[in-house]
A and B are shown apart, each in its own frame.
Chain A
């Protein structure tokens, strides 16, 4: 690796990665464009049925609405025409309008629900990362093999409990049996989101159970991963030396944590990239007003535009997270850096 050649290798690497990512993104776009449209039925029919149910019985008015919607969305045009319109809008950052929430655009719908999902997921991921990794290091520092094994069995058992079942149990214990916290929802039925103290307290009360569920269910995964890394580090000469010299356990803990943190940081970035999808079922179980529940209603109403928008956002965040972490690791890790330069 030479400074003479400047950062040409880096530019080359970034460009080749970007090309790969764009190809991947386009393929995903084609898939998510075709898949929902292949399901029999269409969103406008579903919407019409709902309007009739809601008491709109004037056939002339119904026909007008249907005509207007069809003209706007062009679902009767051939697929490639629809795809080209969709892609050209996408390049301008416009995901189209939602059928279900008609006058609203997909961007608006996603933007109004995304903050709630992120507010749930990102703190949960970070807290579970910290607790889980600390637990992993703590286990790896135990001297007796028996206690290491017992704790690992416990953690593996814990990791087999999916978040929705954990959610059921927590709801039953804390919300139904002890009545400490509300059963679900994002806030009390009669309040509206606002920046008042009473709303914030209300929100936190609703927030606690899904948050704890997510933290516990993600924690064991981090702990098992960290234990695997730290256990190799714990028997290294360096740590053995520190032990022999009589360094306090707390210092050894800190050293071990730092020494084995790197791969876990990489996974943390990926996990944050995946965060939007991770909470879909938890949101449904807790009836939390995030993207997950909107996505489910979009699917039930066959709202093509909203489904596409949802997947686009997800695939973009995941691809971006992978790209950024790859880049960071390439720059930071000399082995990969030199490997690429050759």
Chain B
């Protein structure tokens, strides 16, 4: 068998998984809306062109928000903003957790103890509260600042599980054989261990993505999210502070809520799909 058919086969089996397919469709849908949508519906999301809280009408498909801005333009740009925050935060977090998890598993001993106790303590201080404190340091809160705050808080659980997976690979017989035959440890890790763990890291990444999107919204609702740009959380925050919900202006908060839920859900489903296929027993979604 050549390489390509086998690859195709695994792609087909991946697409046969209902979770993965649903998640992938959702992800592509939101990526399309977020990055192509603003180009088609070309309206400045910050322009105050309307009186506040107009209900949806002909040239204003989703009405205007409490500040008098076009909700549809806000929504399209916010989906992009939330995707960017989620992507950056997940990249930061996955890099930290892979590096710490692998170091901890490979070196063991004191290094392992220090990293693991540190992540224990971080897990014990509720992450939202930790983020609130870190977020209140920031001089200004752009997309990148918020992504950084979320990224440096959400790694510990994943570092722990990645350490576990790496340990289970390292302790297998063929790795011991390789060590005995004199392959340097670092080379071993990058050539043999990391590729084996890669699907697991991908699944963790998807799971992290689904969490960070929600975290951004939570942080924004408290009032400590992004300051000026558009994110879905900020739209909800504005709707809440101006009592749009109490007055029943559904167009200001239902579209962003649905976008957040379905965005997070599609990444969650991708994570579950990958996990079902690659690690039927381990279970990524159980890591905190």
Binding site for B on A (CB under 8 A): 24, 27-28, 31-32, 35-36, 38-40, 149, 153, 156-157, 160-162, 164-165, 168-169, 171-172, 175-177, 183, 274, 277, 280-281, 284-285, 295-296, 299, 307, 311, 314-315, 318-319
Flag if B246 contacts A311 (CB, 8 Å): no
Q: Are A28 and B221 in contact (CB under 8 A)?
A: no
Residues of B within 8 A of A24 (CB): 120-121, 124
Main secondary structure, interface of B, reads helix
Mask: chain B, 120-152; 1 = CB below 8 Å from A; 0 = not: 110011101100111011000000000000000
Taking the complex as formed, is B222 at the interface, i.e. its CB lies under 8 A from any CB of chain A? yes
Closest to A163 in B: B218
Question: Per a CB cutoff under 8 Å, which of A36, A156, A284 touches B221?
Answer: A284
B124 touches A28 (CB 8 A): yes
A231 to chain B, nearest CB (A): 13
Cβ-based interface call for B35 (8 A): no
List 9 interface pairs A-B (beta carbons < 8 Å), by A numbering: A156-B272, A162-B214, A165-B217, A165-B257, A172-B250, A183-B246, A277-B129, A284-B221, A285-B221
A149, A176, A274 — most chain B CB neighbours (10 Å): A176
- The answer to whether A31 and B265 have CB atoms under 8 Å apart is no
Count of inter-chain pairs, beta carbons less than 8 A: 100
| A176 / chain B contacts, CB cutoff of 8 Å | 245-248
B18 & A149 in contact (Cβ 8 Å cutoff): yes
Among residues 235 to 288 in chain B, which have CB atoms less than 8 Å away from a CB atom of chain A? 236, 240, 245-248, 250, 253-254, 257, 260-261, 264-265, 268-269, 272
User: In which size bucket is the chain B interface?
Assistant: 35 or more
CB-nearest residue of chain A relative to B221? A164
CA distance A295 to B214 in the complex (A): 21
Q: Which residue of A lies closest to B236 (CB)?
A: A168
Q: How far apart sit A162 and B18, CA to CA, in the bound complex (Å)?
A: 23
Is the C-beta of B19 less than 8 angstroms from some C-beta in chain A? yes
Please give me the residue from chain A that is nearest to B130 by CB atom: A35
A31-B268 contact given A172-B250, A284-B221, CB 8 Å threshold? no
Q: Which 4 A-B pairs have the closest CB atoms?
A: A160-B265, A277-B126, A176-B248, A165-B257
Question: Which residue of chain A is the closest to B258 with respect to CB atoms?
Answer: A165
A31 close to B126 (CB less than 8 A): no
Q: Contact: A318 with B124, CB < 8 Å?
A: yes
